[in-house]
A and B are shown apart, each in its own frame.
Chain A
Amino acid sequence: MVDDVFDEVGLKVENLHASYGAVEVLRGLDFEVPAKNVSVILGANGAGKTTTLRAICNMCNTSGTVTLGDRDISRTGTAEIVRQGMVHVPQGRGTFPELSTMDNLMVGAYTRKDNEIKDDVDRWFEIFPVLGERSSQMAGSLSGGEQQMLAVARALMARPRLLLLDEPSLGLAPLIIEDLFDRFITLNKETGLTMLIVEQNANLALDMADYAYVIESGEIALHGTSDQLKNDPAVQEAYLGA
């Protein structure tokens, strides 16, 4: 369904359903995340954004087809999916509060067996110097912004092909959010890392994303390039506060 402007599909989702008990939260989603691009999922509270990411990673009851690169991962366990290169930074960040910053990064590299893990730690300490300063401190004692940086760095330690971020701006001060999103863009530009970001802050998300989807009541209501959506009157009214 994405226009043929992308060379490679990073992630393809077809007819994705998800439910918690008897409540159906996703009602047949179809979308694609083009490789080396940043895509966002927008939507109101309760629309099913978080569930979409959880369903892609097989963290809840789902049906439908999810293809990562050329592999069907619809029946693959969450831990295996990480090994195939898709890493999810969940809402609430997914860090381990009772482990040190350093151990959080090391456990992020759990699936790797190469000998460049230490180099990667140094690299992320360079990019996020505050993490280096707090390397022996328990993750739970870091500030919200620092924890979010740690969550992202921890995810990147796995050297993912595709990064899923669930509301990275949640609970952060506006300046910190801007800084964080700048880093995401740099990361994408420099390494070609594919990202799928769930975000409530539509202005911010559309500024950084190449492609965007809008979810309403568990279905894709709208999609298009960021510029298309920015200029869409319905989006402007519902999400951009115009």
Chain B
Amino acid sequence: MHTTTAHVYPIDNIDTDRIIPGKYTKTLDMSALASHVLEDLDPDFAKKVQTGDILVAGNNFGCGSSREQAPIAIKAAGISVVVAKTFARIFYRNAINIGLPVIEVEKHNIQSGDSISIDLENGVVTNHTRNETYQATRMPQQMIDILNAGGLVNYLIQHGDYV
């Protein structure tokens, strides 16, 4: 299985203004969004991320606004999965809808730099650095279907309607 590096911010309530400030959201340019992602939390974040890395946070990740630019910016920066203890609901839906996997893991011991692999289908996170595995909360079937389609756009292209 493909392993990636974790970037851990063990902070609760990382809001959408910190993920991508409102002043940068009025654009359709993905690379412009990616360059500012999480800059008020960690100015070097965008530079540190290698394509495929994972982002790890605390409770209620993505609270605040409905801006889809938040998960878009994270995905465009190269993050392949976001792991948090819990997610705010609009962020959670938005991430799945744009094809950015997000999983809730209540208990884990992931530290920045750990080598991680994730089995989304079974909700299992493996920490290769510490030889540990963690169980994720199962998401509703509707969300698994949308995620498996690669996002809501592809889901609707495939099905033509909600099924």
Partners in one complex: no
Q: B residues touching A (Cβ–Cβ < 8 Å)? A: none
